[in-house]
Structure 1
Amino acid sequence: PNIVVTDALRAAGFRAFGFFEFALIGLPLLIVAVVYMATIGRHLLPTRRSGDAPPVLEEEMDELAELYSLDGDMYRMRVRKPSLLVGSTLRESDVGRRFGVSVLQIEPHPGEPNLLEQTLPTSVRERMEAMTAEPPALPDPAQTINYNDILIVSGTPAQVHELEVAMQLGVLPIDDAGQELGDLLSQEIGIAEVLLTPRSSYVGKVVAHGAIGRTFGVVVLGLRRGDRVLSTTEPLKFGDALLVRGTWKAIGT
């Protein structure tokens, strides 16, 4: 309608609407609407949170985390300013092969809030960020790692410590690995257990070298051989179980 009115005004010889003609009215209305929905409006919604994982899924993720001993082996690592990872890609850094860890996700730093966001309360900004956050995705080998990015990794304490020191990263252990696994799921991304068959070409290969991830587009979260949890640096054998994360299509292949 505004475009039609603008054309009509211009055709009649009057001044057309400017780009920010309605800013004095629109911006206050936008701020009021955002604050209302973040404070009062959300209480009008059902108490059930659709973003929460179903109880059955939470139990399954907790069981997998325990089975593969992921509690204590998953970490959030912040890229500090002097880090050698700044400006490099995941492929160039080759942290999987060099340190034996698996990078499950890269969370880019959101950056500084703009002028409009700075006028909003912190709690409101956090809710807005949560509402507009992208669903979890697989780490892109070509993605550039920047200062203050967060890497979610899995590995033994020794492997993660070596990565922390060598790459000058900040590290924070993840206490609830099951919940973190659930947060890494989406409609496109899944987690599954796969077994190596006798004819598998990956028998004798080492997960840390990255061949499985590169070939199938999955991330290996953990390994088991019978009742024993394996390191990603051990050669694979027939019957080994791999806990992998990837697209459902990649997992199916």
Structure 2
Amino acid sequence: MELPILLVFLIIGATIILFVTEFFPIDKIALFVVVSLLLLGLTTPEEAISGFSNAATITILSLMILAVGLEENGVIQWLTDGIRKLKLLPLILITPAFMIVSAGISAFISTTAVVIIFIKIVSQLAEKYNFSSSKLLMPISFAGILGGSCTLMGTSTNLIVNSLAKEAGAESLGFFEFSFIGLAFVLVGVIFMTIASRFLPKDKSKDLQGDYGIDKYVFSIKVKPEASFIGKKIADIDFLTNQNGHILKLIRDRQVINAPGKYVTIQEDDELILLSEISEITDLSATNEISFNEKQEENNAKNDNEDQQQSENKKLTYVELLILPGSEMIGKTIKNLRNMSLQGAFPIAINKRKNIRNTQERLLRKNVENIRVKPGDRLLVETQTTAISRLNSIQNIAILNEHDYKIGKTTLQKSIALIILLGVIGLAASGVLSILGASLTGVAAMLLTNSISLENVYHKINWQIIFLLAGMIPLGVAMTNTGADTWLSENLLTLLDGQTPTVVIALLFGFTMLISGTISNNATAIIMTPVALSLAAGLSLPVKPFILAVMFAANFSFFTPVGYQTNTLIYGTGIYKFKHFLIIGGMLSIILWILATFILSTML
């Protein structure tokens, strides 16, 4: 083995170890890879930074921007509202139904974004219908991974494999070219996980909600004349009946109704006292159907009348403040705090510290504005983004979280964003434009129609992924430059001498899937694609089955919670243990491995 080849393998080995141990962040590891390749002379300076201009990197960045635009314009919320309607299905059908929906959406939208939506919805349904959320979260995550494998834009791995293969001279994959194979995997995954979900652990909703359920804020909101739910019964209004929005009392014409029944009808100017999560109320506030009180409404109206530059400078946001011992706010009521100078911040709601006294019944007996602040309570305030730093001057508080101030989007704005997404899919699928050209056109359309601002893009893009891709792609270049891919394939061919092409495909698929369970699926694709191309050339076989083997196998990270980001998300809920991924995910991996070997071998 020549020294350059040995150096490439040492860098790959060190990279895998760093990924597994998480000793450094992934973007920092990728930068170390770039510098190592450059200093050791394994790539030229231009090749070392070629990942930043690679078509796959720019395409993935463009698709991320489109996803931000969909979220900003309420299209993601549209999807969420539609998915909630699946609760009408019988419980036995919810698992396959949610998996199919998750897979379908993930074929065109970020799998991670889809799973985050489902985590929230499943939590609500589990509480309302008294079933275990663990029966759904793992199947949904696996379905999202499978669905993302069905189209060229479904996951970044597909784009990377296609880009690397195209650069090596192979024929580019079509947008839906491998969709039928992906659908076969989805079908098998849905059937298997529907059965296997019976063996997943049971979780208790009470444990997820926290002691006594007082883990939400108490809001006082006023129903505006334009509210769409005026005249509706409480039982027919989602935000008043789901798990996240529980009505404590209703105040009408100075008359207080404690714990109003589900048949009470909401009227204009009603004041509702809610125990709710921040996201639920900010979503509702974005529709301009409620106000927190008259003073706050007047302040917002004043801001709306200012010129554009001042409006940008006075953009509003929500901030959570933790009240520490010694704070001047202790002992004050919400009403008192609204009359105090809190560096321009306006108190919206309060979250009482969990203890045996803070029960829901106790909160019912108090007017929200008369609840007194104590150490350990959390106060939600509305303030200007440019004034957040001034909150640090308030003694004995801690700033916990900042939440976006959502602006209501019209149906026209939502429709434009959705049409842009469909246009990108249509242009790429029809071949009129490449997926890179289509996604860049989509971003330009978003900017032209003011569907997105670059300021939000800079804040919301996951730049770690972009730097990971840009840093790892030169590693594939170095493998080709040094002949490491050829050396590896020649030695593999020697070991596999006399074996059928089916066995070779099976081993390539299995080995790739094994690596993807321990390191990033994108990094796996970058390492294994050159090897797959060399194997195909050495055996004088069609390249496409080998490319597809790496693409699918790199995505199929089911047997560990760290191989794919969505698995890490659901693992972080504390519901599952590593063994659940190892056993159930491992069984699914073996089944798909056998199926993939059979399908891909027919293409040889």
TM-score (norm 1): 0.35
Larger helix proportion of the pair: 2
- Choose 1 or 2 for highest CA Rg: 2
Larger strand proportion of the pair: 1
TM-score (norm 2): 0.18
